Chain A
Amino acid sequence: QQQVKQSPQSLIVQKGGISIINCAYENTAFDYFPWYQQFPGKGPALLIAIRPDVSEKKEGRFTISFNKSAKQFSLHIMDSQPGDSATYFCAASMMSGSRLTFGEGTQLTVNP
């Protein structure tokens, strides 16, 4: 059962533009929502994470928006740079369970 759906599958953005990746979840018991960045041949690296008691979290150029009633959350990358080109995964987990359920990933390409 796919519990975290991610879109789009791929995204091309011009340098300086805004990249937006969306995720939707089904399990209302999820209460931790991280985003991971993965470069080819590397492991996923934690980028930013949010808990459902806040609707937005910002760290530098990266912002998570969270809509609890819609069971959706999104990653916004402001002023996108070619170095941001990577695969991005959203994920979700429960405090008690700890296992992460990942979305299918979005391959982001930022053109110079």
Chain B
Amino acid sequence: DVVMTQSPLSLPVTLGQPASISCRSSQSLVHSDGNTYLYWLQQRPGQSPRRLIYTVSNRDSGVPDRFSGSGSGTDFTLRISRVEAEDVGVYYCMQGTHWPTFGQGTKVEIK
């Protein structure tokens, strides 16, 4: 299985400040079709996961532009340019190139 490793696992942030989450995969996530199926999910407290980003850097409809994804191969990053209160929750990276696997999750909380 492809192991997805996120860091940090806990991220206290000040409102209005930027935040960054790293995700590394144990194998390249470049699919034979040329796409990289790396997703970022947000799970607010008590809610189902919600997809924010697909294929590394594409934002889903309705996702604020303060969220951005970048990376390639085995190293990926989710950035929040200015954290708002509604961003509190757990963020997961996930890959769909191989048998789907998830990172451990990063808990974002307000300082």
Bind each other = no
Q: Please report B residues at the A interface, Cβ cutoff 8 Å.
A: none
Q: Please report A residues at the B interface, Cβ cutoff 8 Å.
A: none
